[in-house]
Amino acid sequence: MKTEISYRFKSAQIANRFLNELKHWSVADVKAKLFKGSDSVKITYQFDGKGFDYTCSELDDLARQYDGEEV
């Protein structure tokens, strides 16, 4: 199942830092791009729909490190 999640950050600079970190992220294979302006990032990835979605949890934790919030 294709899963999409978006995060908003306080500035475009912080959003780009988050985006750059995802380019080298070892937790899961995700695709990320700027979304609805330069202060938001949209992420897509495959989830098998079984059990707990650890990728989403890890993304939430990483976004929180950059003071991001899910939108």
pLDDT given for residue 69 in this prediction: 96
* Mean pLDDT estimate for the chain: 94
Looking at residue 35, what DSSP letter applies?
-
Domains of the chain: total: 1
Per the listing, tokens 């003071």 go with: 67
pLDDT given for residue 4 in this prediction: 96
pLDDT band at 48 (very low <50, low <70, confident <90, very high): confident
User: Over the stretch 5-22, which tens digit does the pLDDT of each residue have?
Assistant: 999 999 999 999 999 999
User: Over the stretch 28-42, which tens digit does the pLDDT of each residue have?
Assistant: 899 999 998 899 999
Looking at residue 15, what DSSP letter applies?
H
Task: Provide the domain limits for residue 53.
Answer: 2-70
Q: What is the pTM of this model?
A: 0.90
**Looking at residue 51, which CATH number applies to its domain?**
3.30.70
